[in-house]
């Protein structure tokens, strides 16, 4: 599945937050990896949220423009969730936030997931979660599931926004001392180092 964009960014240490980071400014201009239907399919593939066989089937069976409409819904979901995360990052969530999460629950209620018994790698049998992918809209369900897991399993006190200039990326700080400041050292960390070095050099030159 070719695309004109660089590979999507996965630096959040959480699939739910990686979804928010599907629009970013990796260099100079904004890149939205789910700007259209093809972009959505490609991002879901890179995020390993939907099996490749399912993506191929849904893409082949979709009506013209249908996947673009799902991408519109995905962007709306993303920006709604971004507002929620921005407002509550740095504090623990509780039952008082349930009402705000109703849009996510409405999405999750459309899921047709079920457990089935399948062959295991060692020749035995095991249970496996499966899903009925009835329409292109069902591509939003694993995204909703990852957002729900993020909300319920992560400590929002550890959710941070990158301190890089003009960077919009967010992440879960899993460092022992909670000292992570950048989306990644390769992106914003190095830029900040170079800027600090330039400032120091200037100041030294003024003496």
State the residue for tokens 């990644």: 184
Joined together, the tokens standing for residue 157 give 């006190």
pLDDT at 54: 97
The answer to whether 67 touches 35, Cβ cutoff 8 Å, is no
pTM score of the predicted model:
0.85
List per-residue pLDDT tens for the chain, 207 residues long.
444 678 999 999 999 999 999 998 877 788 999 999 999 999 999 999 999 999 999 999 999 999 999 999 999 999 999 999 999 999 999 999 999 999 999 999 999 999 999 999 999 999 999 999 999 999 999 999 999 999 999 999 999 999 887 788 999 999 989 989 988 877 786 765 665 555 655 665 555
Joined together, the tokens standing for residue 203 give 């100041």
Assign residue 8 a region: left if phi > 0, alpha if psi is -120 to 50, beta otherwise? beta
The residues, any chain, with a CB within 8 Å of residue 138's CB and separated by 6 or more, are 58, 110, 112, 131, 132
Joined together, the tokens standing for residue 55 give 């993506």
Domains of the chain: 15-206 (1.10.3300.10)
């Amino acid at each position: 599945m070719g695309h004109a964009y660089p590979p999507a960014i996965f630096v959040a240490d959480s699939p739910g937050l990686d979804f928010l980071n599907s629009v970013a400014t990796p260099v100079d201009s904004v890149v939205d990896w789910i700007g259209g239907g093809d972009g959505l399919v490609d991002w879901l593939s890179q995020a390993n949220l939907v099996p490749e066989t399912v993506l191929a089937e849904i893409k082949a069976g979709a009506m013209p423009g249908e996947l673009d409409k799902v991408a519109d819904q995905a962007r709306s979901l993303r920006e709604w969730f971004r507002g929620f995360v921005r407002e509550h990052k740095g504090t623990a969530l509780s039952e008082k936030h349930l009402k705000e999460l109703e849009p996510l629950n409405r999405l999750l209620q459309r899921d047709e997931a079920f457990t089935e018994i399948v062959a295991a790698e060692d020749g035995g049998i095991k249970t496996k979660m499966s899903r009925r992918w009835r329409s292109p809209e069902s591509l939003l369900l694993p995204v909703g599931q990852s957002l729900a897991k993020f909300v319920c399993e992560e400590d929002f006190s550890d959710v941070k926004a990158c301190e890089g200039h003009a960077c919009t990326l967010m992440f879960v700080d899993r460092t022992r001392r909670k000292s992570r400041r950048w989306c990644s050292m390769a992106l914003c960390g190095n830029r900040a180092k170079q800027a600090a070095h330039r400032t120091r050099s200037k100041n030294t030159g003024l003496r």
